[in-house]
Chain A
């Protein structure tokens, strides 16, 4: 298969095309490759390298081996933010995907006003995290102060659910759009055949619709999972970790150990590497898990 692909590719470029490509290669590749090296490859490698050093500025670094990692794992705030992030991710992924799917399901039934509803639900996705955070801080504090006699900054439980509400408002519309696209691609023959065979609407949903939209489920869980896990702006604006760093998520915890602590920045970098590895593992595991359930056409 791969040798055949290679063969077609090479015959597709005529010798004169190939010559011309070689001449202009720097023009095509250099800007992106150079910027990519500056903006990603070099900082990434340097980041891994620095996680083994103790440093406050880049001028004075001392090699400490895995000491930073040991310190990171011994850091109570880091572990707490890890648990908070996991709990938040699980709750928001489940809620966002369920609600988004059912809205999408209802809106593909041809009810009046579907397009308008779709437009409205998607809109919050365009607003940036910082602005979102302050909009909801004002609203939630308004409710909490009046009816619950507290504030977002004083109660970690309210902070947790505040973040969930915020993220739902932002992401349900986005996921809904993806589910709608998936639902519109379900072959109508399958649905009609099932109906003729006497399947009820729940049975159709369970055995026809859901298997057919598994690709959308994969994408949506992947996006909500990584978005929730990496959440930063919304967290910073809505709670800022208050009270006492109890609502701090991983990204914010790492940020604080870099910029709001006087001690060794290497610990922050080690936390960042742990964070990175966790995100990659979760993303791969999730893709493997849901991909294996997709229907092969």
Chain B
């Protein structure tokens, strides 16, 4: 008895030490973002010379970095953000709708064609983007898929692999009896899918949506190569342009834009972190 209470007390001390350790580690973990936030209010030379200090009276520039950053390089940051949003929303919506329908059909119909499509999808997941980078951007150009409104078709094509794989994994577990009952009640295949299967697959839709949103929103190389760059930019392309392409790099403006890019991500994460972690986990465990 005495022994077990001593054990639990020592466990409690260990746990307290661990809590302390992880608190410090967590602070270190968010520190990079805090430094970006602080630097986004300092002038460029101060960022280069004293990146870890709080702004002083001379180096504090209020929201000047945000104001210059938004209009830097003759291209509004808000326009880039708008196109990022357009591409992400349309691509993910298209992927969810089309691949779930295809996955359902592939699983329910046992034909050679369906098998071939399924295994090609799995195969496509390991192929690195560099393999198709050049030919894909040429194909997209030839088919006029180089605008934010048409690039979702490319995303559907290149993102189909993982989505089809995840959806078929779930579709397998839906009992056929439900679909048969719907069929007897007069539903055709289309009605069965939309009225019976789709509601059951809700959690899979959320998981796949989260994985695809994270991919499309942050993607740099595909839109950079496919889009007509003089007219359309996305947030990653914009940040790369601010830092990479012009002779004089405005550090302050870049920090401000990075902050504007992080803010919505962090906010959305804080609000729906449970779904996000679950979605990422289901994607990883299946993949």
Listed in ascending order, the chain A residues whose CB lies under 8 Å from chain B are: 6, 9-10, 12-14, 16-17, 20-21, 23-25, 27-29, 31-33, 35-44, 46-47, 50, 58, 103, 106-107, 109-113, 116-131, 134-136, 138-139, 141-142, 169, 174, 177-178, 181, 219, 223, 226, 230, 232-233, 236-237, 240, 250-251, 254-255, 258, 265, 268-269, 272-273, 275-276, 279-280, 283
Q: Are A130 and B220 in contact (CB under 8 A)?
A: yes
Who on chain A is nearest to B157 by CB?
Answer: A39
A99 to chain B, nearest CB (A): 10
Q: Are B102 and A219 in contact (CB under 8 A)?
A: no
A22 to chain B, nearest CB (A): 9
A279 partner residues in chain B, CB cutoff 8 A = 126-128
Q: Are B134 and A112 in contact (CB under 8 A)?
A: no
B102 partner residues in chain A, CB cutoff 8 A = 28-29, 31-33
Known: A29-B105, A138-B36. A123 touches B30 (CB 8 A): yes
Question: In the complex the two chains form, what is the Cα distance from A73 to B179 in whole Å?
Answer: 56
Q: B244 in the interface, Cβ–Cβ < 8 Å? A: yes
Listed in ascending order, the chain B residues whose CB lies under 8 Å from chain A are: 15-16, 18-19, 22-23, 25-26, 29-30, 32-33, 35-36, 39, 47, 51-52, 94, 98-99, 101-102, 104-106, 108-110, 117, 120-121, 124, 126-136, 138-139, 143, 145, 153-158, 160-161, 164, 176, 179-180, 183, 188-190, 192-193, 214, 217-221, 235-236, 239-240, 243-244, 251, 254-255, 258, 261-262, 265-266, 269, 273, 276-277, 280-281, 284-285, 287
Who on chain A is nearest to B127 by CB?
Answer: A276
A177 to chain B, nearest CB (A): 6
B33 to chain A, nearest CB (A): 7
Q: Are B134 and A258 in contact (CB under 8 A)?
A: yes
A27 partner residues in chain B, CB cutoff 8 A = 101, 190
Q: Are B130 and A251 in contact (CB under 8 A)?
A: yes
Who on chain B is nearest to A125 by CB?
Answer: B280
A-B contact pairs, 28 of them (CB 8 A): A14-B183, A17-B192, A20-B188, A20-B189, A24-B190, A32-B164, A36-B120, A36-B157, A38-B157, A39-B136, A39-B156, A121-B29, A128-B218, A128-B236, A130-B218, A130-B220, A131-B218, A131-B258, A134-B258, A135-B36, A138-B36, A138-B51, A141-B51, A169-B29, A174-B284, A219-B284, A275-B128, A275-B130
Known: A31-B156, A106-B22. A46 touches B135 (CB 8 A): yes
Contact of A128 among B18, B217, B280 (CB under 8 A): B217
B241 to chain A, nearest CB (A): 10
Contacts A38-B145, A127-B265, A142-B51 known; list 9 others, CB within 8 Å.
A24-B190, A32-B160, A36-B157, A47-B131, A130-B239, A134-B254, A139-B35, A177-B280, A275-B130
A223 partner residues in chain B, CB cutoff 8 A = 284, 287
B287 to chain A, nearest CB (A): 8
A34 to chain B, nearest CB (A): 8
A268 partner residues in chain B, CB cutoff 8 A = 134
B188 to chain A, nearest CB (A): 4
Q: Are A272 and B29 in contact (CB under 8 A)?
A: no
Who on chain A is nearest to B137 by CB?
Answer: A43
Contact of A124 among B15, B29, B109, B164 (CB under 8 A): B29
Question: In the complex the two chains form, what is the Cα distance from A237 to B160 in whole Å?
Answer: 28
Who on chain B is nearest to A58 by CB?
Answer: B138
Q: Are B261 and A131 in contact (CB under 8 A)?
A: yes
B32 partner residues in chain A, CB cutoff 8 A = 124, 135-136, 139, 169
